[in-house]
């Protein structure tokens, strides 16, 4: 990197840690440390809610997902607005007026201590695993930029964020989130401008979208009802609704956000802010990934984006042969892309220049009549077919290269998470690289700090204070919470070491959550929506929900989004049945 990029990244890291600690107020009191004394304005809470969810996974994983699969991932969020409206009516006033530190405190009031402890335990496991995946995302960038191994970069990222979370509490987290969201929005706008600015002369944004659409990258909605397909309209509206209800209404990392608001109405407004901004923002991030895909139609992309995996196989004869085939296939795709773009867009001098590259047999500088192209069988539909076939050929060669890496390393191969960082570090100009990396760090640190704060809160309030030391001064509980934050930070770093091998990080983090979220949601449905449910019903219903999700996940091909529906329904059914017998015995 250029010295300017290093300066930007260093200045950002120093400032954000300093500012997070400087803005901390009343962190020597439990309510101030865990809930910012319920004093934050709605817009700060709203940005913090968005920042908690918008991790580096979103920038690194989602852009890579769009590069490989297009815009379909946006369907994942279709249930979000509906979930937010439901939560504004139910969960926000409910938890706020209950004056709880954690969502799980209420479960003891409604049921018993064992239900509270079991639900909080499952939250800690799911959120601890997810935090590890979030730590893994920025380590991808650091390993590319600095050339460090992933363990070193994971420790640098994870432990740096742990510092200001340990000492600053949730108020430091919330206010640094606000500034980090500003950096993220600026970074997204600049990187989109940089990508489009590097398209060949004569290729407009509209034509870039046509190119992406020709190979399915612009398809955002799939109306088919297929339980085995992850991203469809129905999985997003139904499975996504259950996931979002659980995440924003039952997950401490989000509940803790709106509990910091000044009032119920401001807590509601903060959630609605996220409901109506999240989908457009997600579309923008996915669009950036698609535009990176278009950029690589005119610049040869790496056959393997992950440099350390590439280094392990690049001297093998089979890999060298694949590289030659890949280069030939790329040139074929580039010419097909140029021809398709030229035939389907407005003819200009620049387009004719592109045609000269795509079509041999004409004198350079001559304008090629459209009729002449049609006579050669080069109409728009034929060009589209040729382009799609050339793209498929490249994908096939890349898959063979990935299989070779897998056979050599003995580990699962997936380099989706390296697509966007590779583009940024290689093609973005000096200064912009530093800003984008700072934006990725901002996204990572905002989410990691929020996760650690919620993990610490649940550990201390639901377990330490409840079961081990019920009476102690605030200073003691704050000391224990800082130790808990540090321990969870180390745990997240350990998980991060393995997370990068599990595939697209944006999918991995949501898979982890989906194994737990539906069942946790089911417990709160029993608690809030039914008066007949008992503690035993909720406790054993939760265990039954988790077991059902485990069976479904291991014996069927049902998409992970539906696990949220399965878990919730199983908990409610089993919980109500047990509750009926419980009441009869009494």
Q: Domain boundary at 391, 414, 437, which?
A: 414
Query: Measured between alpha carbons, how far apart are the two ends of the chain, in Å?
Result: 71
Residue 303, in any domain of the structure: no
pLDDT for the residue 398: 92
Residue 40, in any domain of the structure: yes
CATH code assigned at 432: 1.20.1730.10
Cα–Cα distance list, 563 to 65, 188, 240, 287, 306 (Å): 21, 32, 10, 28, 31
Domain count along the chain: 2
pLDDT for the residue 364: 44
Residues 123, 179, single domain; the answer is: yes
Q: Domain boundary at 394, 414, 434, which?
A: 414
Residue 302, in any domain of the structure: no
Residues 282, 332, single domain; the answer is: no
Distance CA 157, CA 73 (A): 27
Residues 329, 224, single domain; the answer is: no
Residue 490, in any domain of the structure: yes
Residues 371, 474, single domain; the answer is: no
Three-class secondary structure assignment of 87-133: HHHCHHHHHHHHCCCCCCHHHHHHCCHHHHHHHHHHHHHHHHHHHHH
Residue 304, in any domain of the structure: no
C-alpha dihedral sign at 299, 304, 310, 316 = negative
- Give the ranges where 296-413 is alpha helix by DSSP (H): 307-313, 317-344, 349-358, 370-375, 380-409
Q: What is the pTM of this model?
A: 0.80
Q: What does the pLDDT profile of the chain (586 residues) look like in tens digits?
A: 678 888 888 887 777 767 666 655 555 566 666 666 677 787 777 777 777 666 666 777 788 889 988 898 888 888 888 988 898 888 888 888 878 888 898 899 889 999 999 999 999 998 888 888 888 877 766 676 667 777 777 887 787 778 767 766 566 666 677 777 787 788 888 888 989 988 887 788 888 898 999 898 998 888 888 888 878 888 888 888 888 888 888 888 788 777 888 888 888 888 888 778 888 888 898 999 999 999 999 899 999 988 878 888 888 999 999 999 999 999 889 888 887 877 766 666 666 666 666 565 444 444 555 555 555 445 667 778 888 999 999 999 999 999 999 898 887 787 887 888 888 888 888 888 888 887 777 777 777 877 888 898 899 989 999 888 888 887 888 889 889 988 998 898 888 888 766 666 667 777 888 899 899 999 999 988 888 889 899 999 999 999 999 999 889 888 888 999 999 999 999 999 999 887 655 5
Cβ distance 125 to 132 under 8 Å?
A: no
Residues 122, 181, single domain; the answer is: yes
Residue 420, in any domain of the structure: no
pLDDT for the residue 358: 58
Q: Domain boundary at 414, 437, 460, which?
A: 414
Residue range of the domain that includes 112: 3-297+426-585
Residues 240, 384, single domain; the answer is: no
pLDDT for the residue 363: 40
């Amino acid at each position: 990197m250029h010295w300017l990029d290093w300066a930007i990244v260093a200045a950002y890291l120093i400032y954000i840690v300093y500012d997070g600690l400087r803005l901390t107020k009343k962190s020597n009191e439990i309510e101030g440390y865990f809930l910012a004394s319920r004093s934050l304005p709605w817009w700060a809470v709203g940005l913090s809610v968005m920042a908690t969810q918008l991790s580096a996974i979103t920038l690194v994983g989602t852009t890579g997902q769009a590069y490989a699969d297009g815009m379909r991932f946006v369907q994942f969020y279709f249930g979000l607005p509906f979930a937010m409206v439901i939560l504004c009516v139910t969960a926000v006033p409910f938890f706020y007026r209950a004056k709880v530190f954690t969502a799980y405190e209420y479960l003891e009031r409604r049921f018993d201590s064992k239900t509270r402890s079991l639900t909080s335990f499952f939250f800690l496991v799911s959120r601890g695993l997810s935090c590890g995946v979030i730590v893994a995302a920025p380590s991808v960038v650091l390993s590319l930029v600095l050339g460090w191994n992933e363990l070193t970069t994971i420790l640098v990222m994870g432990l740096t964020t742990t510092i200001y979370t340990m000492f600053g509490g949730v108020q430091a987290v919330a206010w640094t989130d606000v500034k980090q969201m500003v950096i993220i929005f600026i970074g997204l706008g600049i990187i989109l401008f940089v990508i489009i600015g590097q398209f060949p002369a004569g290729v407009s944004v509209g034509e870039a979208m046509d190119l992406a659409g020709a190979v399915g990258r612009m398809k955002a909605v799939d109306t088919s009802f297929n339980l085995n397909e992850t991203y469809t309209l129905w999985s997003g509206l139904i499975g996504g609704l259950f996931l979002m209800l659980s995440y924003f209404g039952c997950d401490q990392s989000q509940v803790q956000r709106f509990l910091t608001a000044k009032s119920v109405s401001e807590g509601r407004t903060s959630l609605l802010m996220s409901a109506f901004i999240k989908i457009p923002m997600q579309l923008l991030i996915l669009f950036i990934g698609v535009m990176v895909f278009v950029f690589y139609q005119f610049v040869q992309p790496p056959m393997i984006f992950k440099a350390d995996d590439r280094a392990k196989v690049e001297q093998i004869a089979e890999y060298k042969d694949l590289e030659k085939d890949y280069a030939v296939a790329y040139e074929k795709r580039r010419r097909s892309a140029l021809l398709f773009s030229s035939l389907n867009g407005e003819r200009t001098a620049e387009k004719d220049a592109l045609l000269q590259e795509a079509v041999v047999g004409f004198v350079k500088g001559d304008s090629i009549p459209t009729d002449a192209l049609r006579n050669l069988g080069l109409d728009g539909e034929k060009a589209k077919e040729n382009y799609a076939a050339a793209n498929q050929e490249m994908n096939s060669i890349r898959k063979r290269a990935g299989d070779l890496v897998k056979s050599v390393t003995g580990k699962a191969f997936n380099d989706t998470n390296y697509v966007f960082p590779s583009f940024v570090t290689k093609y973005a100009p000096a200064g912009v690289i530093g800003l984008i990396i700072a934006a990725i760090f901002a996204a990572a640190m905002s989410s990691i700090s929020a996760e650690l704060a919620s993990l610490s809160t649940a550990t201390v309030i639901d377990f330490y204070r409840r079961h081990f030391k019920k009476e102690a001064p605030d200073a003691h509980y704050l000391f224990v919470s800082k130790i808990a934050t540090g321990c969870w930070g180390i745990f997240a770093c350990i998980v991060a070491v393995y997370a990068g091998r599990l595939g697209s990080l944006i999918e991995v983090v949501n898979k982890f959550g989906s194994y737990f979220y539906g069942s946790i949601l089911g417990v709160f449905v029993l608690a809030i929506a039914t008066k007949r449910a008992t503690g035993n019903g909720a406790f054993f219903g939760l265990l039954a929900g988790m077991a059902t999700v485990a069976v479904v996940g291991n014996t069927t091909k049902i998409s992970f989004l539906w696990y949220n529906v399965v878990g919730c329904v199983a908990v409610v059914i089993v919980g109500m049945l047990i509750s009926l017998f419980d009441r009869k015995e009494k």
